[in-house]
Amino acid sequence: MKRILLILFLAAAPALAVQPDEILSDPALEARARDISAVLRCPVCQGETIDDSNAPVARDLRLVVRERLVAGDSDDEVIDYVVDRFGEFVLFEPEARGANIILWFAGPAMLLIAMGGAAIYLRRRGSAAEPAPAPLNDDEARRLREILKE
Amino acid sequence: MIAELGHFTLILALGVALVQAVIPLIGAWKGWPGWIAVAVPAAKMQVVLIAAAFAALTFGFVTSDFSLRVVVENSHTLKPMLYKVAGVWGNHEGSMLLWVLILALFGAAAAVFGDGLPPRLLARVLSVQAMIGVAFLAFIVLTSNPFDRVAFPPFDGRDLNPLLQDPGLAFHPPFLYLGYVGLSMAFSFAVAALIEGRVDAAWARWVRPWTLAAWMFLTIGIALGSWWAYYELGWGGFWFWDPVENASFMPWLLAAALLHSAVVVEKRESLKSWTILLAILAFGFSLIGTFIVRSGVITSVHAFANDPERGVFILAILAVFIGGALTLYAARAGSLEARGVFGLVSRESALVINNVLLAVSAFVVFIGTVWPLFAEMFFDRKLSVGPPFFEKAFTPFMVLIAILLPIGAMLPWKRGSLAKTLRPLSGALVLAFALGALAFALQTGRSALAPVGIALGTWLVAGAASELWHRSGRRLARLKRLPRADWGKAASHSGLGIVFIGVSTLMAWNVEDIRVAKVGETFSLGDYDVTLAAVEKKQGPNYMTTMATMEVDLHGEHIATLYPEKRFYPVANMPTTEAAIDNGFLRDVYLVIGDEQKDGGWAVRTYVKPFANWIWAGSILMAIGGLLSLSDRRYRVAAGARRSNAAASPAPAE
């Protein structure tokens, strides 16, 4: 129960995630910081970005992101910096390397398979001869008469 | 006493469900009419018994009976009555009770409206429905008894999670469950058809309304949840690709696919085995959703009474039903012969493509949702899959669907010509390009998201309108006489277009301002001037609040006074934000008040959110489309010729 309360608490207080005092004076840098924050996951929360989260560690990460940007890092360098310290768990967009290639290619591969199956099916339906409808059985014939009578 | 009665009727319901699961099935197999006839009264009896148990639990909540454990954990005497009632399903045990109540309701509805069905099919359908009932009733009775008493009742309860104390969220779960559980009807019909080895147009006519109803409820449930997130969480996010959201979205996608493939079965007697498979999968994903929410295997913001033991139980239910149904499918699907013959360019083909795209997109959502679990189990990697993945991997499918939809909807059955079909749509196409280009010109140097979304959305809406116009033979008088199903189709498809416009523009053109404002200070955001007029502390019924008074002016003209709040619920020890929103047709002004700063100012967030309401308006329009189709008289004809005038005139051929 405590754990649930904790989870709910963390989920409950995302408002005012980015505090006014964190914002950089350079709007271009700040915009980059926001974009980066939107793909980094808060390590202690349940599926929130550091941009949305109100947890202290999220705030620390937001400050780190801004520090690195001010120091002149590129976006990728900032993300790598955070990933080096917290692991790939913080990446909301999993990198397409190793087993993750399966993840990224599963959709397109499935689409190809499905399209192939559909194409075979459609060609077959196009060339098939329409079978004669099966004759009604007694029950059905009776029901048909009933319906037509009304 | 009343609680014990509730517990007792619940156990009785389990017994009735057992009888209903076994006797009619044997009766249908052996052809014993007496045994077959057990199904209908048993289904009605079940709903009465479960409703009694549900009423008993509701009574416990309404009267704040703190000798009941769930009431202690989820209620409080000071809580407003609406939330005392909503508290019944605001917890694991109560929500499972609601789940089985809805399951029984659907079963009883099939029993009541099913007098036009062949008695054997009805007996089998109700038997399968009762098997699901047995599984979940046993789950409640054995692992999640809502009528559990506490030895030492406390003076007051621990309050419902304040985030759930909200009208939008009070009704979000019932609608979702109506959707999830509604798909059980499609499942039961599919399994019954597999047992019979027979799927025909009449079967599809029976399955479609249930699927349509389930899809409609899911649409409303998802939209309510998203709307709630938008105004309650305090920054206007409306969809997070959270595992639990995905769990409701996958059945929605599959239900949408099922609706369309059932049309092909009904009209053309093709796609039979695929439709059966979809019906099994759609309900399977509802069960997976239940499993994800309640087992805690995947971390989610919705973490809700998760308990591994219960998870294992639900996993077992999932394995038995889906495994069983798929085995039956593997054994029987081959015997379902397709009849309809059609060309490559035809409505049938278009609906096949629709099904491919919807099913594969559901698969993408599925793999993204379970990938963290897979990666940890098999590759020992702890990773996350979040919005950026889904936005990239899922969106292309929606773009394809939107491009193809108006064309497919216009194609004739059997065999058509693309050139002929496209001609009436040329106006819609031009309009879509024009509005997309206009959006591109209005925004400078931003992503293509909004122009593309607007163009696609316009294409869908204008395409649906052109289709209606074309079907009416370009005469206004005949427009009114078109079947309701045509109107429903147009409404749902344009609803989708409106959602497209809302989502894309909201994501692309959202404007945000975060600052510290002193009381009396005015600041501007775009064309709007916002003044923080006052901040007061107040006392609510079961919370304390910090309420700001903010004036919003547009071009010097006063348009709204808004009162954003920050609340604190002392019993649950939780803060919440209550954003204040000035809703508009083209934009929302969205204000949030935050913490007091050291120098005496307040943290204030201001957003201008373009077209936000279009997302929910579009969703409602989609649901209304479902309702219109549901009220089409073809279904009343199918429902057993109870009205002679309806039965006499054949369904209009399309």
Residues A122 and A69 in one domain: no
In 10 A of CB B627, how many CB atoms? Answer: 16
Residues A21 and A86 in one domain: yes
- The predicted structure's pLDDT at residue B638: 47
Contact in structure between B129 and B103 (CB atoms under 8 Å): yes
Query: What are the CA-CA distances from residue B71 to residues A121, B75, B89, B137, B153 (Å)?
Result: 55, 5, 11, 20, 10
> Is residue B49 predicted with pLDDT exceeding 90?
yes
> Is residue B205 predicted with pLDDT exceeding 80?
yes
Nearest-angstrom CA–CA distance, B199 and B37: 23
Contact in structure between B95 and B58 (CB atoms under 8 Å): no
User: Closest Cα to residue B626, out of B350, B281, B219, B224?
Assistant: B219
Nearest-angstrom CA–CA distance, B67 and B90: 18
Nearest-angstrom CA–CA distance, A38 and B584: 27
Tell me how close the Cα of A60 comes to any Cα of chain B, in angstroms. Answer: 18
Please state the φ and ψ torsions of residue A130, each to the nearest 5 degrees. -70, 120
Q: Which of A16, A91, A114 sits opposite B359 (nearest CB)?
A: A114
CATH of the domain at A36: 1.10.8.640
Contacts of A94 in chain B (CB under 8 A): 371, 383-385, 389
- Delimit the domains of chain B by residue range: 1-160, 167-327+344-386, 390-507+623-627, 511-612
Specify the DSSP element, H or E, that contains B590: strand B587-596
> Is residue B642 predicted with pLDDT exceeding 70?
no
Give the least confident one: B51-60, B424-433, B633-642: B633-642
- The predicted structure's pLDDT at residue A16: 53
Question: Mean of the pLDDT values across residues A95-107?
Answer: 88
pTM: 0.90
Contacts of B379 in chain A (CB under 8 A): 98-99
Summarised one tens digit per residue, pLDDT across range B601-616 is 888 989 999 999 999 9
Q: Is residue A145 part of a domain?
A: no
| B363–A103 C-beta distance less than 8 A | no
- The predicted structure's pLDDT at residue B57: 94
Max CA pair span of chain B: 83
DSSP SS3 for B577: strand
| No. of helices (H) and no. of strands (E), chain B | 23, 10
User: Closest Cα to residue B371, out of B381, B362, B360, B357?
Assistant: B381
Please state the φ and ψ torsions of residue B400, each to the nearest 5 degrees. -60, -45
User: Closest Cα to residue B189, out of B179, B203, B202, B177?
Assistant: B203
Contacts of B300 in chain A (CB under 8 A): 46-47
DSSP secondary structure string, B514-571?
A: EEEE-TT-EEEETTEEEEEEEEEEEE-SS-EEEEEEEEEEETTEEEEEE--EEEEETT
Specify the DSSP element, H or E, that contains B397: helix B387-410
Nearest-angstrom CA–CA distance, B467 and B134: 46
Q: Is residue A135 part of a domain?
A: no
- The predicted structure's pLDDT at residue B52: 95
Nearest-angstrom CA–CA distance, B461 and B405: 11
Sheet containing strand B511-517, strands side by side:
B511-517, B602-610, B587-596, B580-582
| B387–A92 C-beta distance less than 8 A | yes
Based on its alpha-carbon atoms, the radius of gyration of chain A, rounded to whole angstroms, reads 29
Residues A51 and A28 in one domain: yes
Residues A86 and A101 in one domain: no
Give the least confident one: A42-46, A132-136, B189-193, B523-527: A132-136
- The predicted structure's pLDDT at residue B62: 92
Contacts of B70 in chain A (CB under 8 A): none
Contacts of A129 in chain B (CB under 8 A): 341
Q: Is the ipTM of this complex over 0.85?
A: no
Tally of domains within chain A? 2
Summarised one tens digit per residue, pLDDT across range B109-166 is 999 988 778 888 999 999 999 999 999 999 999 988 889 888 888 888 877 777 777 8
Q: Which of A9, A18, A89 sits opposite B574 (nearest CB)?
A: A9
Contact in structure between B513 and B606 (CB atoms under 8 Å): yes
Give the least confident one: A111-115, B182-186, B570-574, B586-590: B570-574
Based on its alpha-carbon atoms, the radius of gyration of chain B, rounded to whole angstroms, reads 26
**Token output for B408:** 């497919």
Nearest-angstrom CA–CA distance, B644 and B636: 10
Contact in structure between B42 and B16 (CB atoms under 8 Å): yes
Q: Is residue A146 part of a domain?
A: no
> Is residue B42 predicted with pLDDT exceeding 60?
yes
Nearest-angstrom CA–CA distance, B294 and B301: 12
Q: How confident is the model at residue B635 (pLDDT cuts 50, 70, 90)?
A: low
- Alpha carbon B603 to its chain's center: 36
- The predicted structure's pLDDT at residue B511: 87
Evaluated on CA atoms B116, B119, B120, B123, the torsion sign reads: positive
**Neighbouring-strand partners of residue B522:** B531
- The predicted structure's pLDDT at residue B22: 93
- Alpha carbon B55 to its chain's center: 25
Q: Which of A15, A21, A92 sits opposite B388 (nearest CB)?
A: A92
Q: Is residue A49 part of a domain?
A: yes
Contacts of B384 in chain A (CB under 8 A): 41, 47, 88-92, 94
Residues A54 and A86 in one domain: yes
Cβ partners under 8 Å of residue B393, min gap 6? A104, A107, B364, B368
CA dihedral of B85, B87, B91, B96, whole degrees rounded to 10 = 10
Question: Mean of the pLDDT values across residues B528-551?
Answer: 90
Strand B574-578 relative to strand B557-562: parallel, antiparallel, unpaired?
Answer: unpaired
Best of B271, B356, B525 to substitute, by most chain A Cβ atoms within 10 angstroms, is B356
Tell me how close the Cα of B150 comes to any Cα of chain A, in angstroms. Answer: 16
Query: What are the CA-CA distances from residue B504 to residues A126, B398, B448, B450, B564 (Å)?
Result: 39, 12, 10, 5, 26
Specify the DSSP element, H or E, that contains B580: strand B580-582
Give the least confident one: B5-19, B104-118, B334-348: B334-348
Please state the φ and ψ torsions of residue B31, each to the nearest 5 degrees. 75, 35
> Is residue A4 predicted with pLDDT exceeding 50?
no
For chain B, report the end-to-end CA distance as a whole number of angstroms: 59
Cβ partners under 8 Å of residue B217, min gap 6? B175, B176, B178, B179, B182
Summarised one tens digit per residue, pLDDT across range B570-606 is 887 888 888 899 998 999 999 998 888 888 888 898 9
Per the structure, the complete domain to which residue A118 belongs is given by 96-128
| A92–B514 C-beta distance less than 8 A | no
Residues A51 and A16 in one domain: yes
Question: Mean of the pLDDT values across residues B470-499?
Answer: 89
For chain A, report the end-to-end CA distance as a whole number of angstroms: 62
- The predicted structure's pLDDT at residue B541: 83
Residues A81 and A108 in one domain: no
Percent of chain B scoring above 90 in pLDDT? 46
Best of A2, A5, A8, A148 to substitute, by most chain B Cβ atoms within 10 angstroms, is A8
Tokens 């996951």 sit at which residue? A41
Residues A112 and A82 in one domain: no
- The predicted structure's pLDDT at residue B308: 67
Q: Which of B595, B605, B641 sits opposite A150 (nearest CB)?
A: B641
Residues A102 and A77 in one domain: no
Question: At how many degrees (to 10) do helices B39-62 and B2-30 cross?
Answer: 160
Cβ partners under 8 Å of residue B206, min gap 6? B117, B189, B638
Q: Is residue A140 part of a domain?
A: no
Question: Mean of the pLDDT values across residues B347-364?
Answer: 93
Average pLDDT, chain B: 87
Nearest-angstrom CA–CA distance, B137 and B145: 10
- The predicted structure's pLDDT at residue B99: 92
Question: Mean of the pLDDT values across residues B92-104?
Answer: 91
Specify the DSSP element, H or E, that contains B512: strand B511-517
**Neighbouring-strand partners of residue B552:** B530, B560
The CATH code for residues B1-160 is 1.20.120
Tell me how close the Cα of A87 comes to any Cα of chain B, in angstroms. Answer: 8
| B592–A91 C-beta distance less than 8 A | no
More confident residue, B309 or B624: B624
Please state the φ and ψ torsions of residue B525, each to the nearest 5 degrees. -140, 110
Contacts of B516 in chain A (CB under 8 A): 20-21
Cβ partners under 8 Å of residue B25, min gap 6? B123, B124, B127
**Token output for A141:** 């014939």
Nearest-angstrom CA–CA distance, B541 and A53: 28
Nearest-angstrom CA–CA distance, A150 and B400: 47
CA dihedral of B620, B623, B624, B628, whole degrees rounded to 10 = 170
User: How many Cα neighbours within 13 Å face the side chain of A117?
Assistant: 14
Q: How confident is the model at residue A145 (pLDDT cuts 50, 70, 90)?
A: confident
| A114–B575 C-beta distance less than 8 A | no
Contacts of A90 in chain B (CB under 8 A): 384
Most confident of B248-252, B270-274, B509-513, B520-524: B248-252
- The predicted structure's pLDDT at residue B447: 81
Residue B423 identity: R
Residues A83 and A115 in one domain: no
> Is residue A6 predicted with pLDDT exceeding 50?
no
Best of A125, A130, A142 to substitute, by most chain B Cβ atoms within 10 angstroms, is A125
Residues A81 and A100 in one domain: no
| A11–B301 C-beta distance less than 8 A | yes
CA angle B507–B511–B514, rounded 5-degree value: 125
Percent of chain B scoring above 70 in pLDDT? 94
- The predicted structure's pLDDT at residue B78: 83
Summarised one tens digit per residue, pLDDT across range B239-276 is 989 888 899 999 999 999 999 999 888 888 888 889 99
**Token output for B594:** 């935050």
More confident residue, B416 or B428: B428
Residues A40 and A111 in one domain: no
Nearest-angstrom CA–CA distance, A143 and B54: 40
Tell me how close the Cα of A145 comes to any Cα of chain B, in angstroms. Answer: 12
Summarised one tens digit per residue, pLDDT across range B429-472 is 999 999 998 988 888 767 888 999 999 999 999 999 999 998 88
> Is residue B361 predicted with pLDDT exceeding 90?
yes
Cβ partners under 8 Å of residue B212, min gap 6? B259, B626, B629, B630
More confident residue, B396 or B243: B396
Q: Is residue A33 part of a domain?
A: yes
